[in-house]
């Protein structure tokens, strides 16, 4: 099992798995290639790198930098054809009631929308997702089965 920390991007090959803990408003993004059983995961914190206070930040922190990095590594380093890549996502929760009425919308919703936009830009199908609600999630992607398990306190386990 390969642990993916906050704002990190990591990759795994069969039979390895990728796991990230404590997704609240953050989004766990998995881009994978079913035929070669290779996957990359990013723990995305924020929607847009324009929000950065400096030019020094991890590429996994923002949706608009994480998705391009995942795609580049999957296609150039691992040699996966772009048109065969697929994606699954989880997270994007609204953890605090006070932020639900913000004029720009919640950070969780904005993160999910930014991830979807980036996936659309690359024409990568989003084949499954569990996003929103008001609870955190821990996710693990298994390269061997291409399944994403989602654990949530008081909600149990689901598989997408």
pTM of the model: 0.93
Query: Over the stretch 120-158, which tens digit does the pLDDT of each residue have?
Result: 999 999 999 999 999 999 999 999 999 999 999 878 899
Ordered structural domains, the chain, with CATH: 2-159 (3.30.1330.200)
Residue range 39-49: mean pLDDT, rounded: 97
Q: What is the mean pLDDT of the chain?
A: 93
Query: Over the stretch 81-129, which tens digit does the pLDDT of each residue have?
Result: 999 999 999 999 987 765 555 556 689 999 999 999 999 999 999 999 9
Of 77 and 153, more confident: 77
pLDDT band of 73, cuts 50, 70, 90? very high
Residue 26 a catalytic site member:
yes
The residue with tokens 């995942």 is: 70
User: 10 Å Cβ neighbour count for 152?
Assistant: 18
């Amino acid at each position: 099992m390969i642990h993916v920390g906050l704002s990190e991007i990591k990759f795994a090959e069969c039979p390895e798995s990728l796991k990230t803990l404590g997704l609240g408003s953050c989004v766990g993004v998995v881009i994978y290639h079913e035929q070669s059983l290779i996957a990359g995961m990013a723990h995305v914190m924020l929607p847009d790198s324009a929000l950065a206070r400096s030019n020094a930040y991890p590429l996994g922190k923002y949706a608009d930098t994480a998705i391009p990095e995942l795609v580049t590594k999957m296609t150039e380093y691992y040699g996966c054809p772009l048109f065969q890549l697929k994606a699954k996502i989880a997270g994007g929760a609204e953890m605090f009631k006070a932020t639900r009425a913000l004029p720009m919308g919640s950070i969780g919703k904005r993160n999910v929308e930014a991830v979807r936009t980036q996936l659309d830009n690359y024409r990568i199908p989003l084949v499954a997702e569990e996003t929103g609600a008001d609870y955190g999630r821990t996710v693990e992607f298994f390269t061997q089965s291409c399944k994403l398990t989602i654990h949530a306190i008081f909600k149990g386990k689901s598989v997408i």
